Amino acid sequence: MKELLDVYQQQAASRLSLTPWLAHLQEEAMADFTRMGFPTRHCEDWKYTTTDTFLKETFSTKPASLNDASLFDSKWRAGFEHAIPDVVMNNGQQSIAEALKKKLPAGVLVLSLSDAILLHADKIKPYLNQITEQKHAFQALNTAMLQNGVFIYVPKNVCIEAPIYLANWQDKAHQAVYLRHVVVAEEGSSCTVIDDYQGEEKAVYFTNTLTEIHLAPRANVTHYKLQCESKLAYHTGHLALKQMAGSQFNSHSFSVGGKWVRSDIAIALSEPRAHCFMNGVYAPGEGQHVDHHTVVHHQAPDCTSAQDYKGILSGHSRAVFNGSVIVAKDAQHTEAKQQNKNLLLSKNSEIDTKPQLEIFADDVICTHGATVGQLDEDALFYLATRGIERPDAMRYLVQAFAVENLRSVTHEGLKDWVATLLNQQVG
């Protein structure tokens, strides 16, 4: 492993920023990366997800083929294709700010990370790497390689109605792309961000993405993560969030791509009356491994959280779900709900699920649960008697299993597109 660590250390050194405060963050992160090393199964949070296959590959840091940000207000096409956004930013061809200045309300910033650091350090410095608690080497490596990404700033009481669409596409063999997105929603503001990860079907590549979101009092942010990359790709993602009084956060995560995927979410409800809702569907197929870890930390009273994750596993696949809710001593009147349900479509599929509650307050309402099952053969037989072929019947039952999660998606075109993805995966 030491030789591989040296490779990534050298790559990080070549990307060291000329901005002193940023270079300091990178150097600290590289020290953490060197100290931690890549996680092994001896680490409790990586007990069911081995890094062995990842460590057999070597990825280089070439510029991404496409990393764009745009206002996405067109309808989604059927299947896997998107309607082309009104504005697309290819690397170096035009700045995101120039492309979007006619579409954004006054004061809103949507900039490349490098432009934000150069032009708006006062706005990004208080948040960059301040929300994330780096617990493993992949997170530290993202900060050490920090260079690409998007900064979104929404001023007080400004509402952006059209979603901000971040398209991340990879097609270069053994390429590593490190993305860092920072979203700052000031008091009373609102926005929606669609974070879409795709790639060439047969390409082997690595995506390491980390998003930090700060919600000021009464801010409202909705975040969609669409992970539908190459079935040979490696993906690590982390979403870190801090919520202030009366803020609302909605998370929708859909994962159907990747050979080896690890997705983490860490939410801190730091002030009273903050609320978060986390909705997720993962559907690994033949040869895929998908791991979700979530942590919701209730640090203040009168906050609510709800998690609803469902897994649909087919072929020779494996999934991991570890959902944790921590209620601090002073977080009285907390309401926290968590459920994880899984559907195994194959005898060769496997799920490890572990919902957790750590409660240090005495006036709370907290529930959690997990289920694992298979398709109802009686229901399949009933549909067969109505002339419905078994593959179609399976798709109907899978759609019924995930219907509540899909119903939570308010963008109709996106909802239809995710339903199509699930059908493709099952079929």
How is the chain split into domains, by residue range? Answer: 2-271, 376-427
With beta carbons less than 8 A apart as the criterion, state whether 111 and 142 touch.
no
CB 301 within 8 A of CB 268: no
| Cβ atoms of residues 265 and 239 within 8 Å | yes
d(CA 198, CA 193): 16
* 371/290 Cα distance (integer angstroms): 17
Tens digit of pLDDT at every position of the chain (427 positions): 678 888 888 998 988 999 999 999 999 999 999 999 999 888 889 999 999 999 999 999 864 333 444 444 433 333 323 332 333 333 333 444 454 555 788 899 999 999 999 999 999 999 999 998 888 999 999 999 998 899 999 999 999 988 898 988 898 999 999 999 999 999 999 999 999 999 998 899 999 999 999 999 999 999 999 999 999 999 999 999 999 999 999 999 999 999 999 999 999 999 999 999 999 999 999 999 999 999 999 999 999 999 999 999 999 999 999 999 999 999 999 999 999 999 999 999 999 999 999 999 999 999 999 999 988 888 877 788 888 888 888 888 888 899 999 999 988 888 888 888 888 877 6
User: What percent helix, strand, coil does the chain show, rounded to 5?
Assistant: 25, 40, 40
Closest CA to 38 of 61, 59, 55: 55
Rounded to two decimals, the pTM is 0.90
Distance CA 100, CA 86 (A): 9
Instruction: Please give the Cα distance from 95 to 390 (Å, whole number).
Output: 51
Q: What is the edge-to-edge ordering of all strands in the sheet holding 260-269?
A: 109-112, 150-154, 176-185, 206-215, 234-243, 260-269, 289-298, 318-327, 350-359
